[in-house]
Structure 1
Amino acid sequence: MNTYKAPLRDMRFALFDVIQAEALYARLGIEAAQRDVLDAALEEAARFNETVLAPLNTVGDREGCQFDKASGAVKTPSGFKEAYQQFVEGGWAGITARAELGGMDLPESFGVLMKEMIDAANLAWGNYPLLSHGATEALKHHGEPWQQEVFLKAIVEGRWTGTMCLTEPHCGSDLGLLKTRAEPLADGKYAITGTKIFITGGEHDLAENIVHLVLARLPDAPAGTKGISLFIVPKVKVERDGTVGERNAVRCGSIEHKMGIHGSVTCVMNFDGAEGYLIGQPNRGLAAMFTMMNTARLAVGIQGLGLIDRAFQNALRYSRERLQMRALSGAKEPSKPADPIIVHPDVRRMLLTSKALAEGGRLLAYHAATLVDVLERSQDEGERKAADELLGYLTPIVKACLTEWSVECTYNSLQCFGGHGYVAEWGMEQLARDARITTIYEGTTQIQALDLLGRKVMQLQGAGLKQFLGMVQRFCEQQIENAALAEFVAPLAALAKEYADLTLAIGKKAAANPEEIGAASVDYLFYSGYLALAYWWAKAVATAEAGDYPAEFKAMKRETARFYFQRLLPRTRLHKAGIEAGAASLMGLDAALFDS
């Protein structure tokens, strides 16, 4: 009963019309990114996701992954392996990889559209290629030429997949505590020994080999995060010339039994002297791993976006069909025994919340992805530096806000179904369960908030923040005389000024008490997200009004933006109050008194 239809019209409007990606692609010299090619790829991607992946979403949830303790093997749910084969045959595994590596050489920001479809169609299945993309980024930026030739090409082709092996049972997010060891061998390889937990795709039956990227310590490594190195450890041994050998000494010890994403396997991985190769410089592994993590954080934000949209689509269809009670202002469909529930104001509130956050969040995420294109392909060093700064600022906002909003919106969409939403047959409770993990993995919301306020704003003196505020200011100045946008431009300009003032105030308080950063960080993160969406909604209305679009489309954009500004943007009042309350009320109670 739970279906998915790729929102191609709004995807095209966001990427090509509002963000104007075609002009960017031409300026960056991305020859493969011709509009006819991109449109054809979108149509085929939609077909694959709607007809192949989406029907497997319920299958994956009900079957889960099967673990054979004796062999350490994992069997994915029915249809997952065949879907992965179709994915590989279609060339989707290398959609954004360079042509010399066997990829399609399409922009990262275009690949995000495919990723949104995958995550909406089947989030659990999508975790397998997600980690491969992260491994591709790490190898592309930090791998030696032979490592790229041997490992990277196979991952781009889809014959092999990749993982990120970071944390350990005692670590959590504090990677400075990790204990996995790497002992140098005589042939230039390393013997990796240790246990890693929460490893997505650590073992499965989709591909011929799995390339684990593992954080470990060399014998002479300094303590803490400064003593971490990164290693390639394949499931099946691979020599420097690409020769594949016997099974390596790495094994899945168990798989987790989770609240959601049952079709995505999460493994405990045991390395017992497994052979591997060093990536990059010794003791610089965390920097290389952050290349993967930052890519993955944007990708998880896209997961939140996909879940919002799928849940909204199903709730909207149900709300149009479900008859219950009459509208308070009188019967809207008197020929029927009751009106459809979409006539009721609070059902509309729930639906419009999802619609506003999905379409605004789409612009936010797609724009961040275009910065990756600039960073990867621009020949202008200054432009790359600026893109890096703005991307660094936006990444925690995209990751945390879109995932937190996915929890809210899948809840709202389930609520539209009433009791039917709580039973498995309608598929809504699965979306709500699946959404919950997105706020946790690849750095919790709290970690993203500390990264945004503590590092990107305070430590780096707000380089990316200043760029963002500059974007807002330029837009407001351009539209100041546009009466049709007055209801959006005036409050946007006022909030941008307030945001800048709040940032300065936090900095002053933190100078006297560092706890103020932690106390303000989550509220600051959400204020940032709501302000960013206000900018993009105002820009979407401006684009729609100035373009040759049907009157119904223009009205839809304007009314949704009006809802956002009047109903969701005022949440900044709550977050402002939280920021200004400071650390005192959080830190005043002695830890020993919490249970008294």
Structure 2
Amino acid sequence: MWSYQAPLRDMQFVLEHWLQAPQAWSRSPTFEALDMPLAVQVLEEAGRFSQGVLAPLNSSGDRQGCRWTAGQVSTPDGFAEAYRAYVDGGWPSLACAEALGGQGLPQLLDAALQEMLYATNHAWAMYTGISHGAYLCLKAHAAPWLQARYLPEIVSGQALPTMCLTEPQAGSDVGLLRCRATPEGDGSYRLHGNKLFISGGEHDLTTNILHLVLARLPNAPPGSRGISLFLVPKQLDDGRANGVHCDGIEHKMGIKGSATCSLIFEGAQGWLIGDANQGLAAMFVMMNSARLHVGLQGLGHVEAAWQNALEYAAGRVQMRAPLRPDGVLAQVADPILYHPAMRRVLLELRTTSEGLRAIGYWAAHLLDQAEHAPDPQAQQRAGQLAQLLTPIIKAFFTEQGFRQASNALQVFGGYGYVAEFAIEQTLRDSRIAMIYEGSNEIQANDLLLRKVLGDEGRAFGLLLTELRDEAEQGGEWAECAGFAAALGNLCEVLTVVVSGIRARAREDSEYPYRAAGDFLQLCGVTLLALAWARAARVSRALPEDDPLRADKLQSARFFFNYLPSRVAQYRVAIENACEALPFV
């Protein structure tokens, strides 16, 4: 029992009013033909595909899972047919360049598509989720002949790529990997080694699978400096199977319809992507795209949890509510929707979902601007902001996906714990996103150590400017003045906190690592504050009788009423991290 309706009205609000994306598109030669009606049409079609094709396969795919037999993987019933419909709809090419066979649309629209895919069927979307990152990686680093041979297959959806980093002894620390590549006389390489936890490493959706593999060349420097990246197809051009085999799949807590594979490379033929020993630089193009997509998984889980919790709360009747919106005391039991405890949970679900959407789409829009804005300075600024936001989006969004799914399960009571109501699947599926593509702890270290302290605060200064500008604009409208003031205060809190961390780090080099997790959470809450301060302000553009305008103001009031306690919690935790942790 699970339902989903694409939140098209809110998506349109974010694109048109929060981001003012149509104005940016009109200034870009790449997107000047794109307008809001066309964008809405794309979103509507994506919603129809997600609701009509993927959502019905979510629970059945979870129950059936994948099957491994003698190196071959069968995906759940309906998955292969859904992929053919996805390809026939042109979705793999959505945000790819027209010169390479794509539709040339913004990554912003692709982000909205990804949210819908993950909200309706996370496991299925794992097969397609890495494709755009692989496309960007080859486009940026592969030799022209390699691009010409394999990019069309990725853009069209004829082949699906994988990302092969992890080995049994090398997880987050890729410098420990042992997979090796030896050069052949014809310019290719032979790869030998094992890879673990490879999403979509084997499946029946496409005939060919393109593995992007990290490996070591002979005489490569030790550690991460000696890693190269290779493209290793499952099937060679002459039709022969390449020397890569799936020797098993994992049995997991969630996303059971996604084949998580162990791969063995036994003299598999591959080709170098980019320069020798520079594999991480090439792979991080793919990883950064993947981290944004993983953050959108968190958003998709929150949205799905919110919709289904609301539907259940409106139909579940018990006890008398102390207060109804019409002021009438009920003579019989009411839907639990009216009870304060449930209203509190549902409002948090709604404000989290809509707030994350604004920030996640902003990051995608910044990536578009970093590549296509007409002004080079605007490109640079957008790129810096996007890089700063990426670890926050990956970690904060995925934590909210799990936390809010758990909160939503509470609305269902005992029914939420049984498989008849699929909120328990959402809770299980959401948990992995906090681990893969760089665990959330690694994202916190990356944010504070590299993105804030490491570049002398340049990118962080751009974010502070964004916060201050919004606080100043919001203060001009009486209804938003309180929200703007709260956002301005948060900006000052962040400034003081970073200054304190920087000072303490001079005396205690471990301190930033102890504070990093809570600092990322503080940044996440601040971004939600930005989302709601701006949403309330730009809602003025909506007609006064539009229910969405009242909803935005109501949600902003709720958010800022409950915000101070969360800010205080993270600030105190950061300050208390000055106390060294004992060894256990």
- How does the TM-score come out when normalised to structure 1? 0.95
Shift of 1:443: 1.0
Partner of 1:369: 364
Once the two structures are superposed, the pairs formed by residues 423-502 of structure 1 within 5 Å of their partners are: 423-502=418-497
**Change in 2 beyond 3 A, CA 1:51/1:517:** same
Q: Which amino acid aligns with 1:321?
A: G
Structure 1, residues 273-302: CA drift from partner, whole Å, max 9, x if none?
100000000010000000000000000000
Q: Give the deviation of 1:355 after TM superposition.
A: 0.6
Q: Which of 399, 411, 417 is the equivalent residue of 1:422?
A: 417
Q: Determine the structure 2 residue equivalent to 1:338.
A: 333
8 Å Cα contact 2:392-2:443 kept in structure 1: yes
CA RMSD, 1 decimal: 1.4
- Asked if 1 retains the 8 angstrom alpha-carbon contact of 2:16 and 2:36, the reply is no
The aligned residue for residue 253 of structure 1 is 247
Change beyond 3 A, Cα 1:563–1:227: same
Structure 1: distance between partners of 2:39 and 2:474: 31
Is 1:590 matched with 2:583? yes
Check whether the contact 2:320–2:330 (CA below 8 A) recurs between aligned residues: no
1:453, distance to aligned residue in structure 2 (A): 0.2
What is residue 263 of structure 1 aligned with on the other side? 257
Matched, 1:45 2:46: yes
- Mapped contact 1:390–1:463 kept (Cα < 8 A): no
Letter in 2 for 1:508: A
Q: Structure 2 CA distance, aligned partners of 1:549 and 1:286? A: 52
Match of residue 545, structure 1, among 517, 540, 544: 540
State the match for 1:381 in structure 2. 376
Q: In structure 2, what is the equivalent of residue 205 of structure 1?
A: 204
Aligned partner of 1:8 in structure 2 is 8
Return the alpha-carbon distance in structure 2 between the equivalents of residues 539 and 40 of structure 1: 25
User: Which residue of the partner structure matches residue 24 of structure 1?
Assistant: 24
Q: Against the structure 1 CA distance between its residues 345 and 335, is the aligned structure 2 distance closer, same or farther, given a 3 Å change threshold?
A: closer
Q: Structure 1 vs Structure 2: percent identity of aligned residues?
A: 46
For residue 174 of structure 1, what is the aligned residue in structure 2? 173
In the alignment, structure 1 residue 326 sits paired with structure 2 residue 320 = yes
- State the distance in 1 between where 2:48 and 2:445 align: 40
Name the CA distance, whole Å, in 2 between partners of 1:79 and 1:569: 47
Note the C-alpha offset of 1:388.
Answer: 1.6
Question: For residues 549 and 137 of structure 1, what CA distance do their matches in structure 2 show?
Answer: 43
CA–CA distance in structure 2, aligned partners of residues 275 and 11 of structure 1? 44
Which residue is equivalent to 2:272? 278
**CA contact 2:162–2:201 (8 Å) conserved in 1:** yes
1:76 counterpart = 2:88: no
Alignment CA distance shift 1:400-1:590 (3 Å): closer
In 1: Cα distance, 2:527 partner to 2:182 partner? 47
CA distance in 2, matches of 1:558, 1:395: 28
Q: 1:344 to 1:138 in 2, by over 3 A?
A: same
2:513 is aligned with 1:518: yes
Residues in 1 aligned to 2:544 and 2:194: alpha-carbon distance in whole angstroms: 56
CA drift of 1:582 comes to: 2.2
Partner of 1:105: 104
Specify which of 556, 569, 578 is matched with residue 574 of structure 1: 569
Cα separation, 2, equivalents of 1:336 and 1:305: 39
Query: 1:225 is paired with a residue of what secondary structure?
Result: helix
1:93 match: 92
- Contact residue 400 and residue 445 of structure 1 kept, 8 A: yes
Does residue 297 (structure 1) correspond to residue 291 (structure 2)? The answer is: yes
Which residue in the other structure is 2:393 paired with? 398
- What does residue 308 of structure 2 align with? 314
**What SS does the aligned partner of 2:271 have?**
strand
- Mapped partners of 2:387, 2:357: distance in 1: 18
Query: What is the rounded CA distance, in whole Å, between the counterparts of 2:40 and 2:355 in structure 1?
Result: 22
Which stretch has the larger CA shift, 375-384 or 131-140? 375-384
Instruction: Report what 1:233 is aligned to.
Output: 232
Letter aligned with residue 453 of structure 1 = L
Q: Could you list the per-position Cα deviations for residues 105-147 of structure 1 after superposition, in whole angstroms to 9, with x for gaps in the alignment?
A: 1000111111111111111101111112221111111111111
Deviation >6 Å, runs of 4+: 330-336
Structure 2 residue 35 is the aligned partner of structure 1 residue 34 = yes
Q: CA deviation at 1:411?
A: 0.5
Shift of 1:584: 2.0
Matching residue's letter, 1:55: P
Deviation at 1:36, TM superposition (A): 2.9
The code of the aligned residue for 2:109 comes to F
Deviation of 1:480 after TM superposition, in Å, equals 2.7
Paired residue type of 1:410? A
Contact preservation (8 Å) 1:332, 1:339 = no
**Post-superposition CA distance 1:180-231 (Å, at most 9, x none):** 1010001110001111111000000001200000000100210111111000
CA distance in 2 between partners of 1:127 and 1:333 (Å): 49
SS in 1 for 2:506: helix
CA distance in 2, matches of 1:164, 1:199: 7
Give distance in 2, aligned partners of 1:471 and 1:141: 30
Q: Distance in 1 between matches of 2:225 and 2:374?
A: 32
Q: Which whole-Å CA distance do the structure 2 matches of 1:124 and 1:472 have between them?
A: 36
Deviation of 1:386 after TM superposition, in Å, equals 1.4
CA separation in 2, counterparts of 1:329 and 1:476?
Answer: 35
Letter in 2 for 1:78: D
Distance between the aligned counterparts of 1:18 and 1:329, measured in 2?
Answer: 34
By how many angstroms is 1:479 displaced? 3.0
SS at match of 1:170: coil
Distance between the aligned counterparts of 2:21 and 2:376, measured in 1?
A: 20
Asked if the contact 1:233–1:277 (Cα under 8 Å) also holds between the matched residues in 2, the reply is yes
- Structure 1 distance, partners of 2:60, 2:329, is 40
Deviation at 1:336, TM superposition (A): 7.1
Cα distance in 1, alignment partners of residues 88 and 320 from structure 2: 52
The count of residues paired between Structure 1 and Structure 2 equals 582
Query: CA-to-partner distance for each residue in 1:496-542, whole Å, 9 max, x for gaps?
Result: 01111100110111111111111100100000010111011010000
Change (3 A) 1:352 1:67: same
**Within 1, Cα distance between the matches of 2:246 and 2:368?**
36
Q: Distance in 2 between matches of 1:569 and 1:156?
A: 46
The amino acid that maps onto 2:459 is G
Contact 2:26 2:33 in 1 (8 A): no
1:455-475 CA distances to partner (integer Å, 9 max, x unpaired)? 000111222211111011112
Q: 2:41 & 2:500 partners in 1: Cα distance?
A: 50
5+ residue gaps, structure 2: none
Query: Are 2:181 and 2:192, in contact at CA under 8 Å, matched by a contact in 1?
Result: yes
2:323, 2:329 within 8 Å by CA — same for their partners in 1? no
Do the aligned residues in 2 keep the contact of 1:131 with 1:200 (CA within 8 Å)?
A: no
Matched-pair contact (CA < 8 Å) for 2:323–2:338: no
Of stretches 153-162 and 548-557 in structure 1, the one that deviates more from structure 2 is 548-557
> If the length of structure 2 is used for normalisation, what is the TM-score?
0.97
CA contact (8 A) 2:474 2:534 kept: no
The residue aligned with 2:130 is 131
User: In structure 2, what is the Cα distance between the partners aligned to 1:33 and 1:336?
Assistant: 55
For 2:236, the aligned partner's letter is K
Name the SS of the counterpart of 2:539 in structure 1.
helix
Deviation at 1:329, TM superposition (A): 4.0
| Letter aligned with residue 273 of structure 1 | G
The corresponding residue for 1:241 is none
Which segments of 5 or more consecutive residues in structure 1 lack a partner in the other structure? Answer: 239-243, 592-596
